[in-house]
Structure 1
Amino acid sequence: MNILVISAYPNQTGLNYAIKEKVMNNLNSKHNVTEIDLYKEQFNPVLYFDKNHRRRDLATDPSTQKYRELVKTADFLIFIYPIWWGGMPAIMKGFIDRVFVKGFAYKYNGIFPVALLKHKKAWIINTNDTPFLYVKLVQKDYGKVLKNQVLKMCGIKTIKHSQLYFVRSSSKEKRINFLNKIAKIAKNI
């Protein structure tokens, strides 16, 4: 299986980086695994529109072609990032805006969207600093935009969404237990 790991976290000594390492080290070697570390690659998340850069041309933009090819050939995508201000980091949002574009990831049939990336699966892994009850009772869409508004529209089925809540007040034991759960899931892919 072709697995694509897409991560967005700037601190190589932080928890999200440890999560990525746990995933990468526990995926079965029978898989073909490719990694996109958006910060290491210094991915440019900014969209440019002018007479030479038009929205309708994003699906053929040469600067994102390698990323579209990686997504296209992947059977399974793993997204790893923290939730900041209720959503994904800007670099991940920019990646979605520039790569999962109309004509590549979806199209329209009249007013209805048509998924173009069917038969792919995804696993989303997030951390956040928000208490679990607040997320469940107040901000019910917290961390779910990628799953519900992006991947679903493109035809990608999210089979697992792992979240570690309230990291800033979590114990070392809780973080280690989360990393162990991540390792177990990765081994079973």
Structure 2
Amino acid sequence: MNCLIVYAHPNPKSFNAAVLKTVTDNLSATHTVQLIDLYADHFDPVLRFDDDHKRRDLTSDPATKRYRDLVTWADQFIFIFPIWWSGMPAMMKGFIDRVFVAGFAYHNTNTGLKGHLNGKAWIITTHNTPAFITPFAQDYGKVLKGQILKSCGIRPVKISQLTGIEKNSDQERQKKLAMIAQTAKTI
């Protein structure tokens, strides 16, 4: 299986980095894995529309061609990012805005969006929201699942929310990483 990991965290020593390492260490060796580390790539998240940048041209933007090729290549998507202020990092949002574009990832129909992509996804988010509030909180992991990936044809989509990270002990963090390792082994 072709696994594409899309990762967004600016600190290479963060808990998110530990999540990324846990995922990559526990995916089956039979999979081919590619990583898009948006911060390491210095991805430009800014979507521009002006005389030189037309919305209709996003499907052929040379700056995002490598990313579109990887998205098309993938059978399994794994998104890893923190939730900040109830949203995904601007880097991840910019990636979605610039790569998952009309004409490439989907097109509009009279009854809604028709997805062009295939595969399944696993979204791993970290945040400090207490676990008991998580079901009620606006969470861009849920937005990515229900309003973006599914609309683009990617199904099923699983979400793993790692909550209360800032206050977790090292032992609690290790338990969360063990859970991620178990899930990664099943892909």
What is the TM-score with the length of structure 1 in the denominator? 0.95
The match for 2:161 is: 163
Question: Residues 30 and 101 (structure 1 numbering): CA distance in 2 closer, same or farther, change over 3 Å?
Answer: same
1:105 partner letter: A
Asked whether the 8 Å contact 2:16–2:126 carries over to 1, the reply is yes
| Paired residues of 1:129 and 1:168 also in contact (CA < 8 A) | yes
Q: Could you list the per-position Cα deviations for residues 108-167 of structure 1 after superposition, in whole angstroms to 9, with x for gaps in the alignment?
A: 12352111113x100000100111222224x25563110011001001014421111111
Q: CA–CA distance in 1 between the matches of 2:140 and 2:149?
A: 15
Q: Percent identity between the aligned chains?
A: 51
Q: What SS does structure 2 have at the residue aligned with 1:157?
A: coil
Instruction: Please name the residue that 1:151 is paired with.
Output: 149
1:122: which partner in 2? 121
Per the TM alignment, residue 99 of structure 1 is displaced from its structure 2 partner at its CA by 0.2
Q: Could you tell me how far apart the structure 1 residues matched to 2:130 and 2:24 are? A: 28
Aligned residue number for residue 90 of structure 1: 90
Q: Which amino acid aligns with 1:166?
A: G
Q: Aligned residue for 1:37?
A: 37
Q: CA deviation at 1:33?
A: 0.5
Q: Which moved more, 1:150-159 or 1:67-76?
A: 150-159
SS at match of 2:155: strand
Q: What is the rounded CA distance, in whole Å, between the counterparts of 2:149 and 2:3 in structure 1?
A: 16
The correspondence for 2:179, drawn from 165, 177, 181, is 181
Structure 1 counterpart of 2:18, one-letter code: A
Gap change, CA 1:40 and 1:156, over 3 Å in 2:
same
Residue 41 of structure 1, CA deviation: 0.4
**Cα RMSD (Å):** 1.2
Contact kept in structure 1, 2:83 and 2:139, CA below 8 Å = no
State the shift of 1:82 in Å. Answer: 0.4
Instruction: State the partner residue of 2:131.
Output: 132
Return the alpha-carbon distance in structure 2 between the equivalents of residues 7 and 141 of structure 1.
17
Per the alignment, in what secondary structure is the counterpart of residue 56 of structure 1?
helix
Range 69-78 or range 155-164, more displaced: 155-164
Cα–Cα, structure 1 residues 141 and 128, in superposed 2: closer, same or farther, change >3 Å?
closer
Distance in structure 2 (CA, Å) of the matches to 1:151 and 1:28: 24
Which residue identity is paired with 1:167? I
Counterpart residue identity of residue 27, structure 1: L
Q: Unpaired segments of 5 or more residues in structure 1?
A: none
Matching residue's letter, 1:162: S
One-letter amino acid of the structure 1 residue matched with residue 78 of structure 2: I
Query: Displacement of 1:37 after TM fit?
Result: 0.4
Offset at residue 45 of structure 1 (A): 0.2
CA distance in 1: counterparts of 2:134 and 2:24, whole angstroms:
28
3-state SS in 2 of match to 1:20: helix
